Amino acid sequence: MDNNLYQNRRNNLAEIMPNNSVLLLPGADLQYRNADSSYAFRQESSFYYFSGFCEPSSLIAIIKDDNNISSIIFVPPKDKLKEIWDGYRAGPIGAVEEYLFDKAYDNTQIDLLLPDIIHGYDQVMYAIGKKAGFDQKVVDWTTAAGSKDRHSKSLNIIDASSIIGNSRLIKDDHEINMIRKACDISAEAHIQAMKSIKSIGNEQNVESLYMYEFSRRGGRYAAYTPIVASGDNACILHYIDNNKKLDVRDLILVDAGCEYEMYASDITRTYPISGKFSEEQLQIYEIVLEAMHAAINEVKVGNNIMQPQLISEMVITKGLASLGILKGDPEELHEAGAYKDFYMHKIGHWLGLDVHDAGDYMEGDKFMKFKPGMITTIEPGIYISNSMDVDDKWKGIGIRIEDDILVTKDGNENLTEKVPSDPKEIELLMS
């Protein structure tokens, strides 16, 4: 990876910063599972986006004044013994030489040096409320900076969440390639699971198959905790127990995607454990699939992000009314929000370094419009739990279909379409 890319990203971010300001980007810290045993380290996404640097407890300061843009990084110090146990450290010299920062210091010097660095500037910017304890640290640093000169201007603390997040919203070619790879790996895992499901006894074993397929294809980690939900469990939107014995009469909903080189994928498929949809399952499935196709068609330059949402709501409302699950005029039912008992979530979210990626959904008081390079999920669903007041034949049917959609100048590209979603193709694959 060319580290000039990260340097350019820092410079581009500085261009939209106010003059005479400092923007702080904290990295992630090691998280401990128990005693002195840590979880695998994953860098904070925005910190990584602007640095490519993957060592814990680091901090970036991007500085902009009228005549200059510069960036400083604080990193773990070189330590021969630590490197024997835990691996290579770049240290301050390596951070400058390898990652193209203007200056670098040991992270042990943050409290000592940062007040001097921010002293004299008008604004200190960072993503407020995103990292535990960091808000107080910023207050302490700005207080220390202000105490250096009683005649100095007070430092304003500004929330930089939007400018940081929106800088990540449109993906460059490198990012698109990483996400496409993550999607391909995850797609193959879903295909293998569909082929194997009839010989798998419980949800946990299904999850383990996905994790195996991710890892062996290069996506060592899941981008999020997989949802493996059979039967009525599929009506729990964030079900992650994944421990129920499979019933051949049920559908199974699997929401699972891997992370590749820090970038996420996100795919959901719902399919019959027996390999064949029942009549009732198929009727509900076809409504969700119609909503899926209609929503994807709305993902294009010039449309806003609510247009896929609205059309999916309308298709699902009409479909449920046609089956008698909802009773009344579809237009009136939609206006009243009757679909929300069965379809209670939004159509999708941005995708990138995070599975629920950074970036605003509003521009001022209007919904964000799609632009080339954006990647969004499209994931309509219908959920009819056993506790709902409907005909028994519909109960326990939970269906969601989800693909990852890249906005292009000519329309869109479905990055996950290789996983069958057509019910006939699913049944053929599983036969």
Give the Cα separation of 354 and 46 in Å (integer). Answer: 9
Identify the H or E element spanning 254: strand 251-256
Q: What is the DSSP letter of 419?
A: S
The alpha carbon of residue 356 and the mean position of all alpha carbons in its chain are separated, in whole angstroms, by 3
- Using an 8 Å Cβ cutoff, are 361 and 368 in contact? yes
Q: Measuring CA to CA, which residue among 412, 393, 400, 406 is closest to residue 350? A: 406
Which residues are annotated as catalytic? 36, 238, 255, 266, 345, 349, 356, 379, 383, 400, 402
At residue 361, φ and ψ (nearest 5 deg) are: -110, -5
End-to-end CA distance of the chain: 43
- Using an 8 Å Cβ cutoff, are 89 and 108 in contact? no
Tokens of 290: 């119609």
Give the Cα separation of 362 and 382 in Å (integer). Answer: 26
Tokens of 9: 């990203």
411-414 and 403-408 strand pairing: antiparallel
Give the Cα separation of 25 and 46 in Å (integer). Answer: 7
- Using an 8 Å Cβ cutoff, are 358 and 349 in contact? no
CA distances from 308 to 194, 360, 381, 382 (A): 28, 17, 13, 16
Long-range contacts of residues 41-46, Cβ cutoff 8 Å, at least 24 apart: 42/221, 42/262, 43/262, 44/131, 45/168, 45/262, 45/352, 45/353, 45/354, 45/358, 46/127, 46/164, 46/165, 46/168, 46/353, 46/358
Q: Which amino acid is at 232?
A: D
Tokens of 312: 């999916």
